């Protein structure tokens, strides 16, 4: 076999050297004995490899047991490896000319593997997540608006595979990109900072929220509708990782949770038809209780970071809890946060004509409480009454809970929006600077400003005016509707039609893929930090054959062609009060609006607009289903905050 061990002089004569020498001599003789005893016909190096592996197993057995966080990191590595293997098999099947049905099965397998790690990628590498599984739509690089970003990942592959003429070259290219992206995740130098207890439990909660807001809606499986089997994979990961912490959780918490996870999985196995799936029952019976258990368990473990600035409250029980939104995330800094004094002052200013140039108009002139803080008109008149303004008056309900303002998303702060409206020559033709002088002469306002801004010198400033009115708008929160109370177990009042309407909204009708739960606006899950815009090809008139409305939308200020005809996805809260609908008020009723979507948007009505982001396929909703959708939408009415 030859002498594979170093001689003692190579190491000197220190105690460590002697131990090393003895170790290698033992290895050498053990290898010889093993080879003779087992009659191995192996080279010495092969013997050593086996021995080293054996020693590794022994050492691993005696080493200190892994922490739950370390187990989670290992789980993540394992399933990234499985995902890579699955994608490799998918690529091999494609290259070997397998039939399309076989490739679709390979696609499903790879998607299921991805869903085992998606919640961690979403939480730790959200930009990478979009590369792996973002919508099949061109988008704009917000930091470099002149550049467009091509879509990549699973949804691009889905579109290519399910096309009338499958594009296998695109499939091959995307699989190559997926492989490279996942390899980068495996070697990410920052990953050592990811797997801490608080970050892991945050990822688990967001994973459950993602199931509700994106998963069961078919958001990322829009063509194959493979969402429900994939949901099983997500909960398998949540279940497995949560119980890595079983030594630190009491049996009284574990036993019911294990039973709940088992029942959830069984329900998904026996209810796999996408359009027939009872999402309302599934969320109330399974996802909300699991989410509550995750929050309670994280609290018991001390694995919640309450100092992190995020849109969702980590202490909330579930996605529909009354306290799920972290209001601080949407507020200015501490000096300008909402207070009762500022809200009261802002309400008074909101209805005062003092801010307009000619003293004839207030904010409340166009944002009328009884009309959902809109005005009931397709488009309002300008301040002179001589011409129509460009766009429909938007509701102010839940305006605080979004990261973009105006239909065209041209500002991100309510204070900036207020300033823009006051100074607009067609809307109010006013001046905040001139308003300061007027308000200083009013002793009532002077004392209110002093109470509201005690540390500000002077107390009446342009920004304080804007902030006070914004504080009032931030108080206009609609989140205690009959639907909300039903989801929180506070009422059982929900009709069969309303239940069916919610399931349609979150399923077949695809409303929930743009108006995301729980706010039903464009704030994008699972992080809820970005307010989206969509291109619907809204017509100028309501008819089955129509012409495109010429309002350029977001492109008017970004000057980016891809933003042409893009408008912010609004909140549907109190939608029953805010007719007419769309940025131009073209649809007088909810029924007309839903029929537009049912036709496939503007493209479905003969408008040629290739950049439409709304799927142009017909939804095939029946008249009864349209009525059920309306019944649900009427349940999310809540104006209690305006009383």
Give the tens place of pLDDT for each residue, 231-251: 999 999 999 999 999 999 999
Same domain, 86 and 176: yes
- Residue ending a domain, among 264, 292, 322, is 322
Supply the CATH number for residue 555's domain.
1.10.760.10
**Domain assignment present for 2:** no
Report the distance separating Cα 450 and Cα 440, nearest Å: 11
Report the distance separating Cα 336 and Cα 78, nearest Å: 47
Same domain, 103 and 152: yes
Same domain, 90 and 44: no
pLDDT in tens, 320-357: 999 999 999 999 988 999 999 999 999 999 999 999 99
Q: What is the pLDDT of residue 8?
A: 40
**Domain assignment present for 617:** yes
* pLDDT band at residue 147 under the 50/70/90 scheme: confident
Same domain, 53 and 95: no
- How many CB atoms are located within 10 Å of the residue 607 CB? 21
- Decide: 304 and 298 in contact? Cβ < 8 Å: yes
**Domain assignment present for 1:** no
Same domain, 181 and 226: no
Query: CB under 8 Å to 129, separation ≥6 — which residues?
Result: 118, 121, 122
Query: What value does the mean pLDDT of the chain take?
Result: 91
Percentage of the chain lying above the pLDDT 90 cut:
85
Please state whether the peptide bond connecting residue 518 to the residue before it is cis, i.e. omega within 30 degrees of 0: yes
Question: Both tokens of residue 380?
Answer: 């309002």
pLDDT in tens, 485-531: 999 999 999 999 999 999 999 999 999 999 999 999 999 999 999 99
- Decide: 343 and 351 in contact? Cβ < 8 Å: no
Lowest mean pLDDT among 20-29, 283-292, 365-374: 20-29
User: In the chain, how many domains are there?
Assistant: 5
**Domain assignment present for 3:** no
DSSP 227-294: HHHHHHHHHHHHHHHHGGGGGGS-HHHHHHHHHHHHHHHHHHHH---TTT--HHHHIIIIIHHHHHHH
Same domain, 116 and 224: no
The separation between the first and the last C-alpha atoms of the chain, rounded to the nearest angstrom, is: 92
Q: Alpha helix (H) ranges present in 143-250?
A: 154-161, 168-186, 197-210, 227-242
**Domain assignment present for 260:** yes
pLDDT in tens, 424-478: 999 999 999 999 999 999 999 999 999 999 999 999 999 999 999 999 999 999 9
Q: Is the dihedral of CA 270, 220, 294, 245 positive or negative?
A: positive
Tell me which residue of 147, 237, 145, 158 sits closest to 200, measured CA to CA. Answer: 237
Q: Which domain holds residue 415?
A: 330-474
Same domain, 357 and 469: yes
Same domain, 208 and 183: no
- Residue ending a domain, among 422, 445, 474, is 474
Q: What is the pLDDT of residue 192?
A: 85
- Residue ending a domain, among 422, 453, 474, is 474
Tell me which residue of 513, 512, 510, 531 sits closest to 522, measured CA to CA. Answer: 531
Same domain, 292 and 352: no
**Domain assignment present for 311:** yes
**Domain assignment present for 31:** yes
Q: What is the pLDDT of residue 28?
A: 53
**Domain assignment present for 299:** yes
- For the full predicted model, state whether its pTM sits above 0.85: yes
Same domain, 488 and 634: yes
Same domain, 421 and 496: no
The alpha carbon of residue 291 and the mean position of all alpha carbons in its chain are separated, in whole angstroms, by: 16
Same domain, 490 and 630: yes
């Amino acid at each position: 076999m030859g002498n594979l061990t170093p001689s003692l002089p190579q190491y000197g004569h220190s105690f460590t050297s002697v131990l090393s020498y003895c170790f290698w001599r033992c290895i050498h003789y053990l290898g010889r004995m093993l080879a003779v005893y087992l009659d191995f016909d192996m080279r010495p190096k092969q013997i050593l490899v086996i021995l080293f592996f054996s020693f590794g197993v022994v050492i691993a057995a005696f080493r200190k047991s892994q922490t739950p966080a370390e187990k989670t990191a290992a789980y993540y590595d394992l399933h990234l490896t499985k995902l890579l293997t699955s994608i490799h098999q998918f690529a091999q099947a494609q290259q070997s000319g397998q039939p399309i049905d076989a490739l679709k099965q390979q696609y499903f397998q790879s998607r299921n593997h991805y869903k085992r790690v998606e919640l961690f990628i979403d939480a730790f590498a959200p930009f990478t997540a979009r590369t792996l599984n973002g919508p099949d739509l061109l988008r704009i690089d917000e930091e470099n608006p002149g550049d467009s970003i091509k879509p990549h990942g699973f949804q691009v592959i889905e579109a290519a595979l399910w096309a009338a003429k499958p594009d296998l070259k695109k499939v091959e290219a995307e699989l190559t990109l997926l492989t490279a992206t996942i390899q980068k995740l495996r070697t990410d130098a920052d990953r050592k900072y990811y797997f801490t207890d608080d970050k892991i439990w945050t990822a688990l909660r967001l994973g459950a929220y993602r199931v509700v807001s994106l998963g069961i809606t078919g958001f990322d499986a829009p063509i194959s509708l493979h969402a429900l089997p994939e949901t099983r994979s997500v909960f398998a990961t949540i279940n497995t990782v949560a119980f890595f912490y079983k030594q630190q959780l009491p049996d009284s918490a574990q036993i019911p949770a294990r039973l709940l996870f088992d029942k959830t999985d069984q329900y998904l196995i026996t209810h796999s038809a996408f359009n027939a799936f009872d999402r309302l029952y599934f969320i109330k019976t399974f996802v909300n209780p699991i989410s509550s258990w995750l929050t309670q368990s994280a609290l018991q473990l001390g694995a919640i970071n309450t100092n992190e600035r995020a849109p969702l409250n980590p202490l909330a029980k579930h996605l529909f809890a009354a306290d799920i939104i972290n209001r601080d995330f949407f507020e200015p800094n501490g000096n300008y946060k909402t207070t009762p004094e500022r809200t009261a002052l802002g309400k008074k200013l909101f209805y005062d004509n003092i801010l307009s140039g000619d003293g004839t108009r207030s904010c409340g002139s166009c944002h009328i409480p009884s009309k959902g803080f809109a005005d009931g008109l397709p488009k309002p008149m300008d301040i002179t009454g001589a011409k129509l303004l460009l766009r429909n008056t938007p509701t102010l309900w839940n305006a605080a809970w979004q990261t973009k303002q105006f239909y065209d998303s041209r500002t991100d702060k309510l204070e900036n929006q207020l300033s823009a409206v006051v100074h607009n020559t067609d809307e109010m033709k006013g001046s905040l600077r001139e308003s300061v002088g007027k308000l200083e002469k009013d002793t009532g306002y002077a004392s209110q400003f002093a109470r509201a801004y005690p540390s500000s010198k002077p107390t009446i400033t342009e920004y304080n005016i804007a902030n006070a009115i914004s504080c009032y708008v931030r108080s206009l929160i609609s989140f205690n509707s009959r639907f909300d109370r039903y989801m929180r177990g506070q009422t059982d009042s929900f009709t069969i039609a309303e239940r069916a309407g919610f399931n349609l909204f979150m399923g077949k009708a695809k409303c929930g893929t743009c108006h995301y739960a729980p706010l039903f606006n464009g704030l994008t899950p699972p992080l809820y930090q970005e307010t989206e815009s969509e291109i619907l090809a809204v017509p100028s008139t309501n008819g089955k054959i129509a012409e495109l409305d010429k309002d350029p939308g977001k492109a008017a200020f970004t000057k980016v062609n891809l933003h042409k005809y893009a408008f912010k996805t609004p909140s549907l809260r109190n939608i029953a009060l805010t007719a007419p609908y769309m940025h131009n008020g073209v649809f007088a009723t909810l029924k007309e609006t839903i029929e537009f979507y049912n036709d496939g948007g503007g493209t479905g009505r003969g408008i040629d607009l290739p950049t439409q982001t709304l799927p142009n396929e017909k939804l095939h909703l029946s008249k009864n289903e349209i009525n059920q959708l309306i019944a649900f939408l009427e349940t999310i009415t809540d104006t209690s905050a305006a009383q």
